[in-house]
Amino acid sequence: MHAVHSYALGRWIPPGADARPIESAITGDIIAKAGHDALDTAAMLDHARMVGGPALRALTFHDRARMVKALATHLNANREALYALSHETGATMADNRIDIDGGIGTMFVFASKGRREMPDGHVYLDGDVEQLSRGGTFLGQHIYTPMLGAAVQINAFNFPVWGMLEKLAPALIAGVPSIVKPATATCYVAEACLRLMIESAIMPEGAVQMIAGGVGDLLDRLDAQDSVAFTGSAATARTLRSTPTILAHSIRFTAEQDSLNASLLAPDAGPGTPEFELFIKEAAREITAKAGQKCTAIRRILAPEAQTGAVIEALGARLARTTIGDPRRADVRMGALVSRAQRRDVLAKVAALSGEVERVQGDPDAFAALGADAARGAFLPPMLFHCADPDAAHRVHDTEAFGPVSTVMGYRDLDHAIALLNRGKGSLVASVITRDGETARALTLGVAAWHGRLYFNNRDSMAESTGHGAPLPHMTHGGPGRAGGGEELGGVRAMLHYMQRTAVQGSPDILTAIGGSWVPGAAEISAPAHPFTRPFEALQIGETIHTASRVVTSEDVAHFADFTGDRFYAHMDDAAAAANPFFPGRVAHGYLLLSFAAGLFVQPDPGPVLANTGLDALRFLKPLVPGERLTVRLTVKRKTKRTDEYGEVRWHVTLINQADERVAEYDLLTMNAFSQQGGA
Ligand code: NAP
The phi and psi torsions of 11 (rounded to 5 degrees) equal -130, 150
Closest C-alpha residue for ligand 1 atom 39: 256
Indicate the range of 371-375, 463-467, 513-517 predicted with least confidence. 371-375
| Ligand 1 in reach of 162 Cβ (< 6 A) | no
For residue 641, give the H/E element and its range: strand 629-641
pLDDT exceeds cutoff 60 at 126: yes
CA of 235 to the centre of ligand 1 (A): 9
pLDDT bin (cut points 50, 70, 90) of residue 653 is very high
The pLDDT value given to residue 32: 96
What's the one-letter identity of residue 20?
A: R
154, 340, 342: which to mutate for ligand 1, most atoms within 8 A of CB? Answer: 154
Angle formed at CA 37 by CA 34 and CA 41, multiple of 5 degrees: 100
8 Å CB contact between 668 and 653: yes
What per-residue string of b and e applies to 303-315 under the rule 16 or more CB within 10 Å gives b? bbeebbebbbebb
Dump pLDDT digits (tens) for 419-452.
999 999 999 999 999 999 999 999 999 999 999 9
| Ligand 1 in reach of 257 Cβ (< 6 A) | yes
Q: How far apart, in whole angstroms, are the C-alpha atoms of residue 524 and residue 635?
A: 8
| Ligand 1 in reach of 258 Cβ (< 6 A) | yes
37, 164, 228, 233: which to mutate for ligand 1, most atoms within 8 A of CB? Answer: 233
What's the one-letter identity of residue 429?
A: V
pLDDT exceeds cutoff 60 at 142: yes
215 CA closest ligand 1 atom index: 20
Q: How far apart, in whole angstroms, are the C-alpha atoms of residue 263 and residue 454?
A: 10
Residue 611, SS3 per DSSP? strand
Angle formed at CA 221 by CA 218 and CA 227, multiple of 5 degrees: 80
Tell me the chain's radius of gyration from C-alpha atoms.
30
pLDDT bin (cut points 50, 70, 90) of residue 8 is very high
The pLDDT value given to residue 678: 44
Quick check: is 543 catalytic? no
Query: For residue 606, how many other CB atoms are within 10 A of its CB?
Result: 6
Q: CA nearest 188: which of 338, 71, 292, 329?
A: 338
Q: CA nearest 171: which of 195, 155, 192, 186?
A: 155
| Ligand 1 in reach of 215 Cβ (< 6 A) | yes
8 Å CB contact between 227 and 252: yes
| Ligand 1 in reach of 428 Cβ (< 6 A) | yes
154 CA closest ligand 1 atom index: 9
- What are the beta bridge partners of residue 262? 300, 430
pLDDT exceeds cutoff 50 at 535: yes
Dump pLDDT digits (tens) for 279-304.
999 999 999 999 999 999 999 999 99
Q: How far apart, in whole angstroms, are the C-alpha atoms of residue 287 and residue 298?
A: 7
Tell me the mean pLDDT in the region 523-530.
93
Portion of the chain with pLDDT greater than 90, in percent = 96
Q: CA nearest 154: which of 104, 84, 226?
A: 226
**3-state per-residue secondary structure call for 55-90:** HHHCCCHHHHHHHHHHHHHHHHHCHHHHHHHHHCCC
Q: How far apart, in whole angstroms, are the C-alpha atoms of residue 88 and residue 189?
A: 9
List C-alpha distances in Å: 650 to 210, 222, 328, 666: 41, 41, 53, 10
CA of 14 to the centre of ligand 1 (A): 23
pLDDT exceeds cutoff 90 at 258: no
Q: How far apart, in whole angstroms, are the C-alpha atoms of residue 217 and residue 152?
A: 13
Angle formed at CA 317 by CA 314 and CA 322, multiple of 5 degrees: 130
Query: Could you tell me how far CA 60 lies from the centroid of its own chain?
Result: 20
pLDDT exceeds cutoff 90 at 646: yes
478 CA closest ligand 1 atom index: 41
The pLDDT value given to residue 536: 97
The pLDDT value given to residue 225: 98
259 CA closest ligand 1 atom index: 34
Tell me the mean pLDDT in the region 172-190.
98
The pLDDT value given to residue 17: 87
pLDDT exceeds cutoff 90 at 527: no
Q: Which CATH architecture has domain 2-122+146-257?
A: 3-Layer(aba) Sandwich (3.40)
20 CA closest ligand 1 atom index: 47
CA of 239 to the centre of ligand 1 (A): 11
CA of 78 to the centre of ligand 1 (A): 27
pLDDT bin (cut points 50, 70, 90) of residue 595 is very high
DSSP 449-498: GGEEEEEEE-TTTTTT---TT---TTSEE--SGGG-S--EESTTHHHHTT
Residue 257, SS3 per DSSP? strand
Positive or negative torsion for Cα 672, 673, 674, 679: positive
Tell me what the pLDDT averaged over the chain comes to.
96
| Ligand 1 in reach of 297 Cβ (< 6 A) | no
The pLDDT value given to residue 676: 67
Dump pLDDT digits (tens) for 225-251.
999 999 999 899 999 999 999 999 999
Angle formed at CA 28 by CA 402 and CA 99, multiple of 5 degrees: 50
What's the one-letter identity of residue 72?
A: A
DSSP 150-170: -EEEE--SS-TTHHHHHHHHH
Query: Residues 169, 175, 181, 183: what is their CA dihedral angle, to the nearest 10 degrees?
Result: -20
CA of 184 to the centre of ligand 1 (A): 9
pLDDT exceeds cutoff 90 at 18: no
- Catalytically annotated residue among 295, 400, 488, 543: 295
Give the domain ranges of the chain.
2-122+146-257, 262-472, 524-673
The pLDDT value given to residue 259: 87
| Ligand 1 in reach of 8 Cβ (< 6 A) | no
Quick check: is 295 catalytic? yes
Tell me the mean pLDDT in the region 246-263.
95
Q: Which CATH architecture has domain 524-673?
A: Roll (3.10)
Closest C-alpha residue for ligand 1 atom 43: 295
Q: Which residues, at least 6 apart from 128, have a Cβ–Cβ distance to it below 8 Å?
A: none
477 CA closest ligand 1 atom index: 40
The pLDDT value given to residue 36: 82
Query: For residue 477, how many other CB atoms are within 10 A of its CB?
Result: 24
CATH of 262-472 among 2.40.110.10, 3.40.50.300, 3.30.70.2190, 3.40.309.10: 3.40.309.10
8 Å CB contact between 327 and 90: yes
| Ligand 1 in reach of 153 Cβ (< 6 A) | no
Q: How far apart, in whole angstroms, are the C-alpha atoms of residue 496 and residue 500?
A: 7
List C-alpha distances in Å: 74 to 27, 40, 169, 179, 199: 32, 30, 14, 21, 10
DSSP 530-599: -GGGS-GGG--TTEEEE---EEPPHHHHHHHHHHH----HHHH-HHHHHTSTT-SSS---HHHHHHHHHH
Query: According to DSSP H, which parts of 221-307 are helical?
Result: 234-241, 244-248, 274-288
- Catalytically annotated residue among 23, 88, 256, 400: 256
pLDDT exceeds cutoff 80 at 361: yes
Q: CA nearest 243: which of 221, 212, 213?
A: 221
- What are the beta bridge partners of residue 433? 265, 457
pLDDT bin (cut points 50, 70, 90) of residue 680 is very low
pLDDT exceeds cutoff 90 at 38: no
8 Å CB contact between 336 and 372: yes
Angle formed at CA 434 by CA 431 and CA 439, multiple of 5 degrees: 95
Portion of the chain with pLDDT greater than 70, in percent = 99
Q: CA nearest 219: which of 191, 252, 257?
A: 252
Q: How far apart, in whole angstroms, are the C-alpha atoms of residue 573 and residue 575?
A: 6
The phi and psi torsions of 60 (rounded to 5 degrees) equal -85, 170
**3-state per-residue secondary structure call for 496-509:** HCCEEEEEEEECHH
